Structure 1
């Protein structure tokens, strides 16, 4: 049986014995981790160490994709902020995690938009809700952002606007001036084929805005990412900024290996074009070599680097509730052997930046003993070039402690 998990990535075979020793040390030596709590510790920068990407802003603390969230992430030390981009009816790029804004805004509380609720097909999957492409920017600005995860702080719901990409760029430039740091931005183009089918062209508008703010250059600290391929190949011919090929998956098997089944087993533009290659195929030597022809970085779900295994004591094909808390989550799983993805990607000339790292114990394999710092430091030891996190402050503390 497939266990649905939050996404992740891969690993160095030649250093496995060393990694096992290091992970054991991290799990058994609490003194090593006390540096993470030292407010006077020296700050480690991203110049020589993994880059910390603030996933959707400060999404562990504030609603996703808000100016306040991005500013908070910068305050916490993020090297890059990450806006997901979708497009309004009138062709404006705005930051939402998905075209469907049912769970990320208070749209359901606006009776004037009740008739906009509908069913749409997004990347081959039927969804019901309210969709950005049915709203003008002026209409969207009447809505407010909400925290989509029930277990996180809901007290900021209804306070913050849905920002445009241009507003985020303006914030970035202001923050660079205020902090003296060349903070980066890594926008993700969400569902490019879906938008194209609606007559909305995201890529050219993205480039236009980068040009407008003098950010469309190799040294601008701008990186663009996508789960699809055709849009990255197009952008590769139009810009010198770095590009990330994101690598998704539908989940993990009980043995800790990737479950290579639909719907998240291949780029959607591959499906549309009848290309049977999957994300796993893209991570072979030949696949990585092809990615290198149009991108600079791969961004895999972190389980492609090191997955987690469940147990099935009664043979029913379902993961056991090892902790006995009535739930089956990451706390009931143990780490699998790391893969060779990091080594393979580096040999192909690609950097590796996995997603997504989170603090909640239910999202941490039992090996980490409910301590997210241990997960970060394990992946640093494996050799990642950066990572996406909902909790920038935790990632920064882990990086400072590990690299001192």
Structure 2
């Protein structure tokens, strides 16, 4: 089976992330699934934002009526100042306009600032249901333990929305999180779908740190053979960052048909876990130094060599800001004969 191309926050290389236009374009560009990030409002509505602090992705800082909502919070150990979704009702959040998060890197996308409003999870489900072909959902639950401390059960909120929209138990559904606890809660609710544990290269899961402090197992420790076997007893897959996936791997020429060996892919597959990776982006800023072209970090580098090398590891799915480029890279890999 060919690896899935998952549109990272929609077509976020071309439109402000998590906007309706980003989702619509991702479907048009051939994405197999769309990945939204889920955070709650004060009244428990799951909205689609990369983080609950939204000054970088909306016009909230320019809205005088919300000036007094600016505050400082500590989220998963990081101190942040700005405007947070859980301090707004849905009726307030729905008035915010989306903005490009990386305006210097993606000026073309910046031209679409202000065109769309913030959406809820049910809005995206309706978009997917109306799509001209089957498109999956890979829903990332953000900061579950931090929100639990603030009185929000993210698993319950998710289960409620999916149930109301007819998505509960739908085989198009995947739920992912950097915290195992909320994935277990999703399973307890009987929400259905595949459960994927996100892992950073370093550090430890926020819920593990909250429970065990400095004794919390690191993400790296959860990638040993024994740990992967334990994860496979509860979850369907893991999702790792590209440096972890490609550690020690040489990139191949675009027309090189040989497979690329990735230690974490091989060992996770042996344990019975699917493997996903994030995030494929074509700009020089996000490419290995050897694949950058010219001195402008916003310019496009040798993305084909990078994307095809990643896909040759046997990974089960890739997150991409530019779904069309990932689809093209997949076709290049699929169209090559195997080694003699």
Q: Does 1:233 align with 2:184?
A: yes
Query: Contact 1:359–1:372 (CA<8 Å) still a contact in 2?
Result: yes
Counterparts of 1:232 and 1:103 in 2: how far apart (Å)?
28
Q: Are residues 1:119 and 2:50 paired?
A: no
Pairing 1:345–2:287 present: no
Structure number with greater CO (CA < 8 Å, separation at least 6) is: 1
Aligned residue for 2:168?
216
1:168 aligns with 2:121: no
Q: How do 1:52-71 and structure 2 match up within 5 A?
A: 52-71=5-24
User: Is the partner of 1:353 in helix, strand or coil?
Assistant: strand
Q: Structure 1: which 4+ aligned runs deviate by more than 6 Å? A: none
Which whole-Å CA distance do the structure 2 matches of 1:307 and 1:63 have between them?
31
C-alpha RMSD of the superposition: 1.5
- Kept in 1, the 8 Å contact 2:183–2:195? The answer is yes
Q: Give the 5 Å matches for 1:130-149.
A: 130-149=83-102
Q: How does 1:3-402 map to 2 (within 5 A)?
A: 48-150=1-103, 151-152=105-106, 153=108, 154-175=110-131, 179=132, 181-217=133-169, 220-237=171-188, 238-249=190-201, 260=202, 265-274=203-212, 275-307=215-247, 339-369=262-292, 370-402=301-333
* 1:363 to partner: Cα distance: 1.3
Distance change >3 Å, CA 173–CA 347, structure 1 → 2: same
Tell me which residue corresponds to 1:32: none
SS at match of 2:278: coil
Give unpaired runs (5+ residues) of structure 1: 1-47, 250-259, 310-336
What is the TM-score with the length of structure 1 in the denominator? 0.75
Deviates more, 1:149-158 or 1:73-82: 149-158
Q: 1:290 Cα shift?
A: 1.7
Aligned residues: 311
The SS at the match of 1:295 is coil
CA distance in 1, matches of 2:261, 2:70: 44
Deviation at 1:212, TM superposition (A): 2.1
Mapped partners of 2:3, 2:55: distance in 1:
34
In structure 2, list runs of 5 or more residues that go unmatched. 250-259, 293-300, 336-340
Note the C-alpha offset of 1:339.
Answer: 4.7
TM-score by length of 2: 0.88
* Cα displacement string for residues 3-56 of structure 1 (whole angstroms, at most 9, x for unaligned residues): xxxxxxxxxxxxxxxxxxxxxxxxxxxxxxxxxxxxxxxxxxxxx200000000
Does the CA-based 8 Å contact 1:245-1:298 persist in structure 2?
Answer: yes
CA distance in 2 between counterparts of 1:338 and 1:281 reads 21
CA contact (8 A) 1:232 1:294 kept: no
- Cα distance between partner residues in 2 of 1:339 and 1:220: 28
Partner Cα separation in structure 2 for residue 346 and residue 239 of structure 1 = 25
* CA distance, structure 2, for counterparts of residue 203 and residue 358 of structure 1: 30
